[in-house]
Amino acid sequence: MRAHPAGPLHGAFAPPPSAGMPPADLGALDPQVWPRSARRVDGELHLGGKSVTELARTHGTPLFVLDEDDFRSRAADFATAFAGADVHYASKAFLCGQVARWIADDGLHLDACSGNELAVALAAGFPAERIALHGNNKSLVELQLAVDAGIGHVVVDSFDEIDRLVPLAEAKGSPVSVLIRTTVGIEAHTHEFIATAHEDQKFGFSLATGDALTAAVRVIREPALHLAGLHSHIGSQIFDTAGFEAAAHRVVGLLGQVHQATGELLEELNLGGGFGIAYLPDDDPVTPDDVARRLRTVVAMECAALDLPVPRLAIEPGRAIAGPGTVTLYEIGTIKPVRLGSGGQGAPQVRNYVSVDGGMSDNIRTALYDADYTCVLANRTSDAPPALCRVVGKHCESGDVLVRDLWLPSDVQPGDLLAVAATGAYCWSMASNYNYLLKPPVVAVRDGAATEIVRRQTLSDVFALDAVLAGRPAPSPAIDQPAPEHPVGARS
């Protein structure tokens, strides 16, 4: 292998405590973190029976590689654990036509949180009656689409929304089925940007102020609407089941208040999503069986205490279905050991910046939530000693970090492939065109076959939106349809 001009990367950088010690095997694929089909074959990462080098050569990088069996088996795990309840896939995690079809074919429900997510699902042929529409600011057009399509539930989130929905339901001539989204007043143990059940945030009707009860009574008295039940979602990437149990306890309390105030027994209780996944080998997520057992127990106990029949349960996992089965492949473009000075401790301090061909435009989560990821050298293994690296993107932003502290073999080279695990949720769906980078494709792999389920965005797609550029060709086909930049030999 050709030597990098900077020489092997420095291992001398005094690692911050967060970096921990280098793992014994830098190329190991912890089954907690990697897709169920991930294997090393002759040192190279294979996903769904496909080699990553071949995937990168065929589809370019950055590339989202989705293990179809992983995705569908996790959906099935929830469906089995929650048999008799409704499992809604929270499509904001990742949605495209193919995913909507898998979810439909596998018998799950789907949660959409904008008119356009709803439109994607409907266009893919998803049965409308199995869709719930969320959102704290649904427009008239979005509500009209929901009512016209005959979706299962509109999850109402404000008094304004009720006012907006009633005339549409009246015009339809049959009651529109509604859940009330409640704010249960719980501080979920997760990043503050993705906690949703404390009082001071935008979602839902507060239990504490009495707004949730007022909204429920209002909907019950409204002939054009049918109040099917209550909804609570406490946040995302939560490991601790105590928050879900506390939420279930409080929302069942509201079922009791609604019954007392109106005599109505509501048929459904939707306890939302938020079940955490392992981004790092030490993360210890709850299993669907565990969540199901605990939630069923709390709801049954609370209902018994209030002498209420147990309603039909529903849940809305997004990340726990879509997250673990997808890997992002990047090609390393530049490697820069940056001297940070000795800090008076003798040995020079060096941070090894490893730049890849994507970044915060395909994964904003590190910059936004300080998220941690597991990443490995994917096209080969190496016995070179470990060097602490920072994997960064190519954006004009110093916060454009993908993996803050990562041990890589010190002989990594431009042209090597890196794989970042567990990028299936909230990466492609939150992607942007910052610096006019293009949204990567998503390739589904299974049994040795690869299918591009979303193609790479092209510069021509982006030009089409621009008053001046629409219809003009990109200056070169190579920049419009990026292929791997470095000769394949650089990766072997």
Ligand X SMILES: Cc1ncc(COP(=O)(O)O)c(C=O)c1O
Residues 195-214 that bind ligand X (CB under 6 A): 196
92 is a site residue for ligand LYS (CB under 6 A):
yes
363 is a site residue for ligand LYS (CB under 6 A):
no
328 is a site residue for ligand LYS (CB under 6 A):
no
Count, residues near ligand X per rule CB under 6 A: 18
Strand 417-420 to 109-112 pairing: unpaired
320 is a site residue for ligand X (CB under 6 A):
yes
Count, residues near ligand LYS per rule CB under 6 A: 7
Q: Which is nearer to ligand LYS, 121 or 219 (CB)?
A: 121
Q: Which is nearer to ligand LYS, 64 or 407 (CB)?
A: 64
426 is a site residue for ligand LYS (CB under 6 A):
yes
Nearest-approach distance from CB 273 to ligand X, in angstroms: 3
Return d(Cα 101, Cα 226) in angstroms, integer.
29
365 is a site residue for ligand LYS (CB under 6 A):
yes
Return d(Cα 106, Cα 102) in angstroms, integer.
6
280 is a site residue for ligand LYS (CB under 6 A):
no
Contact 489/53 with Cβ under 8 angstroms? no
Both tokens of residue 116?
A: 């356009």
Instruction: Please spell the DSSP secondary structure of 55-80, one letter per residue.
Output: HHHHH-SSEEEEEHHHHHHHHHHHHH
Return d(Cα 109, Cα 270) in angstroms, integer.
12
113 is catalytic: no
Nearest-approach distance from CB 90 to ligand X, in angstroms: 3
390 is a site residue for ligand LYS (CB under 6 A):
no
Is position 317 annotated in a ligand binding site?
yes
Nearest-approach distance from CB 110 to ligand X, in angstroms: 11
302 binds, among ligand X, ligand LYS, none (CB under 5 to 8 A by kind): none
Both tokens of residue 142?
A: 């979005």
What's 23's DSSP letter?
P
Span near ligand X by CB under 6 A; candidates 259-267, 286-294, 311-319, 414-422: 311-319
Q: Which is nearer to ligand X, 272 or 386 (CB)?
A: 272
| Residue 481 CB contacts under 8 Å (≥ 6 apart), including other chains | 60, 456, 458
Contact 315/87 with Cβ under 8 angstroms? yes
CA distances from 483 to 48, 458, 489 (A): 22, 12, 15
Query: Phi, psi (5° rounding) for residue 239?
Result: -100, -25
409 binds, among ligand LYS, ligand X, none (CB under 5 to 8 A by kind): none
- Check 303, 375, 396, 427 and give the catalytic one: 396
365 binds, among ligand X, ligand LYS, none (CB under 5 to 8 A by kind): ligand LYS
Nearest-approach distance from CB 88 to ligand LYS, in angstroms: 13
Contact 207/182 with Cβ under 8 angstroms? yes
Return d(Cα 88, Cα 188) in angstroms, integer.
21
Q: Pick from 178, 154, 348, 188: which is nearest to 274 by CA? A: 188
194 is a site residue for ligand LYS (CB under 6 A):
yes
Nearest-approach distance from CB 156 to ligand LYS, in angstroms: 17
Instruction: Please spell the DSSP secondary structure of 159-171, one letter per residue.
Output: HHHHHHHHHHHHH
Q: Pick from 102, 27, 61: which is nearest to 446 by CA? A: 102
275 is a site residue for ligand LYS (CB under 6 A):
no
111 binds, among ligand LYS, ligand X, none (CB under 5 to 8 A by kind): ligand X
Binding-site residues from annotation: 274, 316-319, 365, 369, 397, 426
What residues make contact with ligand X under the rule CB under 6 A? 90, 93, 111, 134, 196, 233, 236-237, 272-275, 316-320, 425
Q: Give catalytic residues, as residue numbers.
A: 396
